[in-house]
Amino acid sequence: MNDIVYGRNAVLELLASNPEKIEKIYMQFNTGHHKLKEILITSKRSRIPTGKARLEKLSEIAGTSKHQGVCALISTIRYYQLDEILQNPRNTSPLIVVLPGLNDPHNVGAIIRTAEAVAADAVILVDGKGTPVNAAVHKASAGAASHMRLCKVRSLVTCLKMFREKGFQVIAADMHAEKNYTDIDFRLPSVLLMGSEGGGLTPHSREQCDCLVRIPMAGCVESLNVSVSAGVLLYEAMRQRLL
């Protein structure tokens, strides 16, 4: 869930003192005021997502019309460190889901819900990328976001390299892959990397994958929604682990 900080000076102070707590900053379309420009520049330097909003929308977010053209969403979620997750695994053979930048909160929430349902160890998000874990994500997760261990990392590639160095296999879905998803041994320590909606995997993240797998399509559509694909892979992992 999120708290709200509004007002130019308040948001600037927050950026200076606790930028890691900010999920997203919403600003008015006209950012001509020097403090709004400073907020925008500082946010980009800190890789904090920003969005434009009409004054009416900002008033709705802030709960007041005295927002001065800017509102910051502050996360009340506890994000785990990678070391915490690795030192206290949920499974003998850990299963991690990595979401590099999904923009639809319903997809993020649905994947968190499925990850919790199969007892995955954690869901990892990339700082400054994709939708914040807000009320819409919580609703779509049906409360699972309060139970699943969530983690944020600064660099996707660095994160994937670290997992590979620790013996994890990095698996991603790709409709052009040669291997079927059922051909992979999910009983090994595994990272499931889900590409973003529309864009899929970036070339750099693809280079860090040990296995690209396809989910067969028998009908007219070429691919599945990312949250459905994640569900297929996660339940295959659980099926193999329960054998």
Domains and CATH numbers, the chain: 2-75 (3.30.1330.30), 82-242 (3.40.1280.10)
Helix, strand or coil, per DSSP, at residue 78: coil
Token pair belonging to 113: 């819900």
pLDDT below 50 — which residues of the chain? Answer: none
User: b/e string for 56-70 if b means 16 or more Cβ within 10 A?
Assistant: eebbebbeeeebbbb
The pLDDT of residue 1: 56
Give, in degrees to the nearest 5, the angle at Cα 96 between 91 and 144. 85
Residues in the chain: 243
Residues in CB range of 31: below 8 A, 6 or more apart: 37, 40, 69
Token pair belonging to 4: 């709200």
Instruction: Please state, in angstroms and as integers, the Cα–Cα distance from residue 47 to each residue in 40, 44, 104, 124, 128, following that order.
Output: 10, 5, 19, 17, 5
CA distance 234 to 120: 8
Residues in CB range of 92: below 8 A, 6 or more apart: none
What are the start-end ranges of the H helices in 70-181?
82-87, 105-117, 135-140, 156-165
Helix, strand or coil, per DSSP, at residue 231: helix
CA distance 120 to 6: 36
Token pair belonging to 159: 């994160």
CA distance 80 to 99: 15
CA distance 90 to 1: 24
Token pair belonging to 238: 């659980």
Residues in CB range of 104: below 8 A, 6 or more apart: 131, 197
pTM of the model: 0.78
Token look-up 């620790």 returns: 166
